[in-house]
Amino acid sequence: MEQSVKYKNIIETALLTSGRPLSIDDLQKLFEEKLERSTIRMLLDDIKNDWSEKTLDLVLVANGYRFEAKPIFTDSLMRLSPDRAIKYSRAVMEVLAIIAYRQPVTRGDIEKIRGVSLNPNTLRQLLEREWVEIIGQKEVPGRPSLYATTKFFLDDFALKSLNQLPDISNSEDKISNSIEENLLSADASEQINDQ
């Protein structure tokens, strides 16, 4: 029992001091003796339970496990270093969403979906942030670059995989239902005012 507490403390310390998510393979390197993956997962579950009532959550993202501040502390932490909060334009976020949901896509695909030409700085920002990468060229004349999201994108948005992205078809249905309801209620109020 004492050995598992020692292992757990080593893993917890590594996760708290690491600047990046740690995979099971990374965590296995912490020990001289071979520790089974299942044992490490069990220890991670114990750590997650230990922290459930504290200020941090142990989460699994695309590149491994990491500690994150609980959402209730976000506002306070943002006041600590407000200059670090990077604001992205609506265009950048739209392009990121198109790439995330339709990947792999070309610049032409993005422009067709958005209906406007794409500012080269928009893709540059996403490439520099390492949320997007060029994964190849499309086999058509001109061989345009194909863009897709990276594991850094998944990590930064606390996703294990692209399957965890919100379902946009439901959002579109909700938006159109909301618009229809607003139009119907506006029509009803106009009819009442006319009488």
106 pLDDT tier (thresholds 50, 70, 90): very high
| pLDDT (0 to 100) of residue 43 | 93
| pLDDT (0 to 100) of residue 27 | 92
CATH code of residue 37: 1.10.10.10
| pLDDT (0 to 100) of residue 186 | 41
Answer whether residue 80 is part of any domain.
no
| pLDDT (0 to 100) of residue 80 | 79
Contact 169, 120 (CB under 8 A): no
- HSE-up of residue 52 (Cα within 13 Å, Cβ side): 6
- Low-confidence winner among 16-25, 52-61, 81-90, 131-140 (lowest mean pLDDT): 81-90
- pLDDT average, residue stretch 58-78: 87
- pLDDT average, residue stretch 60-76: 87
7 and 55 fall within a common domain: yes
Last residue of a domain, one of 22, 40, 73: 73
Q: Is the pLDDT of residue 14 over 90?
A: yes
What is the secondary structure of the chain as a DSSP string?
Answer: -HHHHHHHHHHHHHHHH-SS-B-HHHHHTT-SS---HHHHHHHHHHHHHHHTTSSEEEEEETTEEEEEE-GGGHHHHHHHSGGG-----HHHHHHHHHHHHH-SB-HHHHHHHHTSPPPHHHHHHHHHTTSEEEEEE-SSTT-PEEEEE-HHHHHHTT-SSGGGS--HHHHHHHHHHHHHHHHHHHHHHHHHHH-
Interval 153-187: pLDDT, tens: 888 888 888 888 888 776 555 444 444 444 444 44
| pLDDT (0 to 100) of residue 170 | 60
1 pLDDT tier (thresholds 50, 70, 90): low
What gap in Å lies between CA 169 and CA 101, rounded to an integer? 11
55 and 101 fall within a common domain: no
Structural domain including 26 reads 2-73
Give residue 75's identity as a one-letter amino acid code: D
Q: How many domains does the chain have?
A: 3
59 and 111 fall within a common domain: no
160 and 182 fall within a common domain: no
| pLDDT (0 to 100) of residue 35 | 87
Contact 16, 67 (CB under 8 A): yes
160 and 94 fall within a common domain: yes
Q: Is the pLDDT of residue 188 over 60?
A: no
How does the average pLDDT of the chain come out, rounded?
Answer: 82
Last residue of a domain, one of 73, 100, 134: 73
Which of the pair, 156 or 43, is modelled with greater confidence?
Answer: 43
- Low-confidence winner among 40-44, 137-141, 164-168 (lowest mean pLDDT): 164-168
Last residue of a domain, one of 38, 73, 108: 73
55 and 120 fall within a common domain: no
9 and 51 fall within a common domain: yes
